[in-house]
Amino acid sequence: MQIDLWTDPACFDALRAEWNALHAHSITRVPFMRAEYQQAWWSQRGGGEWPEAQLLVAVAREGGSLVGIAPLFHARNRDGRAALLIVGSIEISDYLDVLVARAHCDAFANHLLDRLTAPDAPVWEVIDLYNLPGSSPMRAALGRAATARGWAAAETLLEPAPAIRLPGDWETYLATMVDKKERQEIKRKLRRAEGSEEKISWYIVGATDRAGDHDLAAETEAFLDMMTLTPDKARFLSPVMREQFRATLRAAAENGWLHLSYLTVGGQRAAAYLSFDLGNRLYVYNSAIDPRFNPLSAGWVLLGYLLQWAIENKRAAFDFMRGDEDYKFRFGAVAGKIYRVQISRTLSAAELGGEPAATHNPDEADCFPAQ
């Protein structure tokens, strides 16, 4: 296995077709690891999170065929150490990993660690990988590779990542995935909204069956403006972060996995969910609510419609991603796990913090299953 290091952002375009073909067979097939998302993230460095980052994409081939990609960058991490992190780290990409087929995990982990210590690689104290799903076999593969070299490897359990494994129909979902009290509450709020004097409707921007029906730029700005109606989100949406969202939505729309939904009340936008529809999973990424419509529980109503849509369109899972907000569990989500994995040649596991990194099989029961 030969690994080349790319430092030019042109790699995202140069490798796009191969990259996404590998993504389709990789251990973690999430939107955040697609070439177009990675390129959009890099264009704004995560909305300005990493202004001093230097790109370092490790590309592995066997017999000329692409078998692995570790899209990394070099920067000072949150601990102030010279680190290699995954492109997408940390705040706005809920799941991250390397791209590799399950059969190549151990070989790729070993060759990657060797390549990252070569003279032409940047100097680093720690490989610092955030947001790896608990089900990722790379947790164990990297732990084994580090241990074999006498290096320290540690991992830390981060936020929960709740998701719902969807049944075949809406009534089965209500009967089996939520308790009686929440089932009654969901039905009550939907009935109240649909019985409102003002017309309630909803629509999707970017779904493949509705492509071209809406002005993406205008709908994007409407979503961002609605986000600013919530004080915390208004502070979060700096000018560079707004540009990051624009780049991400364009990339998702152009490549067929954008799912931006709006609930309207009397023709006015009342609530919105920005989701990514990829594979057989709907990833709920962010939301926006106009507080004028709180009496109608606009966010809950739209979430109910989204769940019905996902079930009717045979999605296997409804993924709320990171965060332990109560409403996710009230809708029947089960918390998956995501990890921070650190590897160092010079620091001890105690200095890195966390628990010794996994060297065994990943969490097979994790709500984020291997795909």
> Tens of pLDDT along 352-364?
988 887 777 665 4
Buried b (16+ CB within 10 A) or exposed e, 24-54: eebbbbbbbbbbbbbbbbbebbbbebbeebe
Tell me which of 263 and 359 has the higher pLDDT.
263
| Pairing outcome for strands 355-356 and 258-265 | unpaired
| Upstream peptide bond of 27 is cis (omega within 30 degrees of 0) | no
For residues 259 and 287, state if they share a domain. yes
Phi-psi region of 279 (alpha: psi -120 to 50; beta: other; left: phi over 0): left
For residues 302 and 225, state if they share a domain. yes
pLDDT at 78 over 70: yes
- Taking residues 225-252, what's their average pLDDT? 97
Contacts of 141 (CB under 8 A, 6+ apart): 105, 106, 108, 109
Is 22 contained in some domain?
A: yes
> Tens of pLDDT along 39-62?
999 999 999 999 999 999 999 999
Q: What are phi and psi of 99, to 5 degrees?
A: -105, 115
For residues 154 and 172, state if they share a domain. no
CA–CA distance, 371 with 48 (Å, rounded to integer): 32
Q: Tell me the percentage of the chain whose pLDDT exceeds 70.
A: 95
pLDDT at 368: 44
Is 13 contained in some domain?
A: yes
CA–CA distance, 50 with 66 (Å, rounded to integer): 28
pLDDT at 130 over 70: yes
For residues 145 and 174, state if they share a domain. no
pLDDT at 66 over 50: yes
Is 118 contained in some domain?
A: yes
Is 181 contained in some domain?
A: yes
For residues 156 and 7, state if they share a domain. yes
For residues 35 and 62, state if they share a domain. yes
Q: Tell me the percentage of the chain whose pLDDT exceeds 90.
A: 90
Is 369 contained in some domain?
A: no
Residue 306 vs residues 238, 255, 282, 284, 367: alpha-carbon distances, Å: 28, 21, 9, 10, 20
**8 A C-beta contact, residue 335 and residue 101:** no
Which pLDDT band holds residue 209 (cuts at 50, 70, 90)?
A: very low
CATH assignment of the domain containing 251: 3.40.630.30
Residue 367 vs residues 105, 129, 181, 334, 362: alpha-carbon distances, Å: 21, 20, 24, 7, 12
pLDDT at 364: 46
- Taking residues 270-285, what's their average pLDDT? 97
Global confidence as pTM = 0.94
> Tens of pLDDT along 326-345?
999 999 999 999 999 999 99
Number of structural domains in the chain: 2
For residues 151 and 47, state if they share a domain. yes
Which pLDDT band holds residue 366 (cuts at 50, 70, 90)?
A: very low
For residues 155 and 175, state if they share a domain. no
Contacts of 247 (CB under 8 A, 6+ apart): 40, 41, 43, 44
Is 367 contained in some domain?
A: no
pLDDT at 311: 97
pLDDT at 283: 98
Is 60 contained in some domain?
A: yes
For residues 212 and 125, state if they share a domain. no
pLDDT at 196: 87
Buried b (16+ CB within 10 A) or exposed e, 316-344: bbbbbbbeeeeebbebbbbbbbbbbbbbb
Contacts of 6 (CB under 8 A, 6+ apart): 15, 55, 56, 57, 58, 59
**8 A C-beta contact, residue 97 and residue 27:** yes
For residues 196 and 301, state if they share a domain. yes
pLDDT at 197 over 90: no
Which pLDDT band holds residue 212 (cuts at 50, 70, 90)?
A: low
> Tens of pLDDT along 148-193?
999 999 999 999 999 999 999 999 999 999 999 999 999 999 999 8
For residues 200 and 103, state if they share a domain. no
Q: How many CB atoms lie within 10 A of CB 369?
A: 16
Is 326 contained in some domain?
A: no
- What's the mean per-residue pLDDT of the chain? 93
Amino acid (1-letter code) at residue 176? T
Range of the domain at 279: 167-315
Closest to 19 measured CA to CA, from 64, 56, 71, 89: 71
- Taking residues 54-78, what's their average pLDDT? 97
pLDDT at 365: 43
pLDDT at 116 over 80: yes
Buried b (16+ CB within 10 A) or exposed e, 259-289: bbbbbbbeeebbbbbbbbbbbebbbbbbbbb
CA–CA distance, 52 with 80 (Å, rounded to integer): 13
Which pLDDT band holds residue 8 (cuts at 50, 70, 90)?
A: very high
Which pLDDT band holds residue 370 (cuts at 50, 70, 90)?
A: very low
Tell me which of 184 and 208 has the higher pLDDT.
184
> Tens of pLDDT along 291-312?
999 999 999 999 999 999 999 9
For residues 344 and 212, state if they share a domain. no
